[in-house]
Each structure stands twice: as structure tokens, then as C-alpha cells.
Amino acid sequence: MIQAPKGTYDLLPADQGARQLLESHAQRILAAAGYSRIETPAFESTELFARGVGAATDIVQKEMYSFDDGGGRSLTLRPEGTAPVCRAYIEHGMHKLPAPVKLWYLSAFFRAENPQRGRHRQFWQVGAEVIGAAGPEADAELIVLLAELLEAMGVSGTRLRLASLGQPETRGAYRAELTEYLHAHSESLSAEVRARIELNPMRAFDASDPGTRAVMAAAPKLIDRLAEEDAGHFAAVRELLDAAGLRYEIDPTLVRGLDYYTRTLFEFTSDALGAQSGVGGGGRYDRLIEQLGGQPTPGIGWAAGVERILLAAPARPRAAEVVDLLVAVADRDAHGARAAAFEVAREARRAGLAAQLELTGRSLKSALKHADRLGARYVAIVNDAEQSVLRDMTGGEQRELAAGAVVAAILRGSRL
RNA sequence: GUGGGCGUAGCUCAGCUGGUAGAGCUCCUGGUUGUGGUCCAGGCGGUCGCCGGUUCGAAUCCGGUCGCUCACCCCA
């Protein structure tokens, strides 16, 4: 049997309701704030991600689906949405639009990771980006909008963590300082932390062993090394969040695996999720547009995992689809019956009814049973070109009438 | 990529001290001359994830592989 590829899954009819709910909430919340929807290609030049996301990141180094397009170009299935949106911004000269440009998307992304709950190889993200606004209001607004989306979806046990990365130069200097500090105290660190000093010194803040924790308690924090303007920006963002009544915690250990972040960084987690606790997050990327070949333009955005939102949100029973009318034929061989039934269904739909034609050729008894399962309000039993019976499934009353009069009878509404 | 758990009909599962597969639900048909929801009867449906090994014989034991899942890692 051919199965869906590892880490992918089918979105079956039963799954559509929850996703449509998410989509409509996103549409409502973001459109109200002036965000327009955008959809970029599912694949892009590999170079876009190498330059945008960062060549040293895990995503680029080992998680991209890259392939040759046959013409010597290297393409990659998009692993994230920010770089493509920025590419589109530059390519379409959106800097000429009234600033800032506010965009949102709900799209599939691809990462060659080992799948587990809430982590797939093809996954969906809803995301929002603000390009061309440097002020802290943009940061705070985006965070609030994501909080509202999560709340609207009923995502439980959420926590917001906040940090500021400052500028890349600051971060580089800080990283060197931290690495040096860790080396100086390496004898007190756990073996794993020690082994990862060069690879990812920030991880040491998350360690649980007492030795490492003691060392880290006195370790230098990036937040204390921020340049004045960056620290001021961060303080302003926090003031706005405080004023909005949004609860958050400052987490100097917050790290994201994308190189393009500057200044504000945030992440929402949910305790309903297990190890993949992040439901959504993002940050500011003031250097990205320029790095991709555009004019220096500030930007900020977030992305949230659709699967994770749905996992952390309460399951909602699927709403039954409405069926106003099922059209069946009493005797398939009766002269003109099938054509008449076909026409009744068409006419009903043109009149705005949800009308299904019995398509399998099952017996009348089975057709009625089928109508019952569908929850059909009426069944039209067509005898021939002229004669038919309209049955109200609620009570079982029925009456004979011309096939051409069926729709009008239903629209009249009423009792038969 | 690494490690643990799991993999039997569409779904939920039983069967596993080895002897060539079962239940419930779903679906389909019928229950006396066209009419549903209850009930009754019958039927469709599985190369027991796949490949190989042990054995006279394997869904049941062993190995490999694929997939799911949990964790590491990383991220949404």
C-alpha cells in the first residue's frame, strides 16, 4: 500500500471544520487591524533561505527539501514564511505602498525533521508580518494580535515569553562573552552543556542540573548588554504590553533558530502540548529586507503552528452539513423519471437549496434511509416526468405533486 | 539523525505458552407489489505494515525495514 510520505497527513473532511474556524478567526482579527492576505509560492530559490534564514541555522543545514529544477537552479520547499514574504515585498516594490505594509498568510511549510506530535514535515502556519514600521507599537500590536487569535481559538495554558536580542553585533559580542564565561567555569557544568558550549552556549540557561544552574545564575545576560536604543525600544514594547494587560515573562534564554531576528523576540507556549510546547512566536527582523537586496527596511512578524493551535484548543464537534432535499427516483426505468429527478435537483440548487441527487441507484427504501442519515429535510420521490411525491422527513407527511412544483412547494416552506 | 513504545477489517479492539483470523460499530442488501429513523437477517471487507529467518506449520518466535508515537535535538 502506498502511504502518505513520512511526516505528512491528509486533511480529511472531518478535519475541515476546525481549520476553517482558525482561518476565519485569523481573517477577522488580522483584517480588522489592516492586514492583507498574501500567498507566496510553495518553493523558492534555495538562496533565499540560505541568505534570509541563515546558512548556519538548523533549518538551512539539515531540514530543507532542496532539489534541482532540471535547469540547473536549486529550489527549496519553503521551510518558513518570513523570507518569502520579504522577497515578495522587494520584488513587487511594496515600499511604494503606504507604510507599513501589513500582511498575513496561512500556508503549508516543509521541514525534513523527525516527526512527532505537533511536528510534521509538511505543516501549516498562520503568520503575520509588518514591514516598514520600526516603532515599538508594531511589536506590541503584533503580539497582542497573536494573543487574541490564540484566545479566540481557546488555546489553553498559554504563556508569553519575551526577550530582546539587540543588534547582531551586540549578540555576537555577547555570545563571545558567554562562551568565555562558560569555558572559565566548565568544571562545574554538566557534560552535555560543556560539549555544546561552542555549538549553542545559550542552551546552558535551560539546563536542570544544580552545577550548571549555579554557574548560570551568575552568567552575563544579553539583556544587560543591549545598546541604549535597543533597551529603550524593549522597554517601550513592555510598557505597551503592560498597558494592554497582557501577561508575559522576560526570558533572557529565549532563543530562536533563525538568524534574522533583531531586538524583540517572543514566543507563546501552551502546557497542553508536551515537548513541542511552542504554539507561535516571532520577532523583529530589521536587517532582513536589506540582506535580501532591498532598501534598509524594518520588519517584524510572527508565525503560529496550525497543528499546535488545534492540538491545544478544545475539540469541537463537527457541525452537520445541511441537506434541504434529496431527490430520488421511485423506479429508475420509469419513462422520464431520471431526467425529471435530475432537473428537480438542478432547479432546487438554483433556488438556493442544498439539494442532493441520489446517485447510486439504490432502492427507494435505501434512499430514504440514506436521506435520514444525511439529515435531509425533504425527499422528493420522482415517479416519472410529471408525477412526484414530496416527503417531509421531520414528520413523515407527504403529498403528491408535479415534479416541476417540488421546489416551489419547499420554498413555500411549509407544511405539506 | 539517536533512543524507548506501538503497528490485526474503514473505525475501536480481541486473538499471541506457534496450527493457515474474530467481535462491535460503519457500509451494502433484504425483511412479500415501490417510503427512513427502532428491530431482525444476510453480505462486502484483512497477503494480521512490509521483507526475510527459525519451524512440518507464524498474526503469534527472531532479524531487518517502513510508518505512527514519545523523548533528545530543534522549531510553529
pLDDT of A257 reads 64
pLDDT of A412 reads 87
Output DSSP code: residue A293: T
Range A325-410 has CATH code 3.40.50.800: yes
| pLDDT top residue among A275 and A356 | A356
Task: Output the CATH code of domain A13-166+226-312.
Answer: 3.30.930.10
Cell of A171: 549578540
Its ipTM equals 0.86
**CA to C1' distance (Å), from A373 to B38:** 14
Q: What's the pLDDT band for A2 if we cut at 50, 70, 90?
A: confident
**CA to C1' distance (Å), from A318 to B66:** 33
Asked whether the predicted pLDDT for residue A330 surpasses 60, the reply is: yes
484548543: which residue's cell?
Answer: A313
**CA to C1' distance (Å), from A363 to B73:** 59
Asked whether the predicted pLDDT for residue A341 surpasses 60, the reply is: yes
Protein CB footprint (7 Å) on chain B nucleotides? 1-3, 27-31, 34-37, 49, 66-76
- Which nucleotide shows the minimum CA-to-C1' distance to residue A400? B35
- Which nucleotide shows the minimum CA-to-C1' distance to residue A337? B34
| pLDDT top residue among A275 and A63 | A63
Query: In which residue ranges of chain A is CATH 3.40.50.800 found?
Result: 325-410
Pairwise CA distance, residues A350 & A96, whole Å: 45
Strand segments, DSSP code E, in A212-354 are 249-250, 262-270, 278-284, 299-305, 325-329
Query: In which residue ranges of chain A is CATH 3.30.930.10 found?
Result: 13-166+226-312
Cell of A328: 430520488
Query: What are the tens digits of pLDDT across the range A3-46?
Result: 888 899 888 888 888 899 999 999 999 999 999 999 999 999 99
pLDDT of A176 reads 87
- Which nucleotide shows the minimum CA-to-C1' distance to residue A369? B36
**Which of A132-136, A177-181, A365-369 is predicted most confidently?**
A132-136
CA nearest to nucleotide B75 C1': residue: A257
* Cα dist from A359 to A366, A383, A404, whole Å: 12, 16, 20
Q: Are A313 and A346 in contact (CB under 8 A)?
A: no
pLDDT of A211 reads 80
What is the secondary structure of A368-400 as a DSSP string? HHHHHHHT-SEEEEE-SSSEEEEEETTT--EEE
Query: What are the tens digits of pLDDT across the range A353-411?
Result: 999 999 888 889 999 999 998 889 999 999 988 899 999 998 888 889 999 999 999 99
**CA to C1' distance (Å), from A1 to B19:** 29
Pairwise CA distance, residues A327 & A381, whole Å: 6
**CA to C1' distance (Å), from A272 to B46:** 37
Asked whether the predicted pLDDT for residue A414 surpasses 80, the reply is: no
Q: Are A378 and A392 in contact (CB under 8 A)?
A: yes
pLDDT of A3 reads 80
A380 Cβ neighbours under 8 A, 6+ residues apart? A325, A326, A327, A328, A341, A344, A388, A389, A390, A391, A403, A406
**CA to C1' distance (Å), from A313 to B6:** 26
Average pLDDT, chain A: 90
A276 Cβ neighbours under 8 A, 6+ residues apart? A116, A117, A118, A119, A308
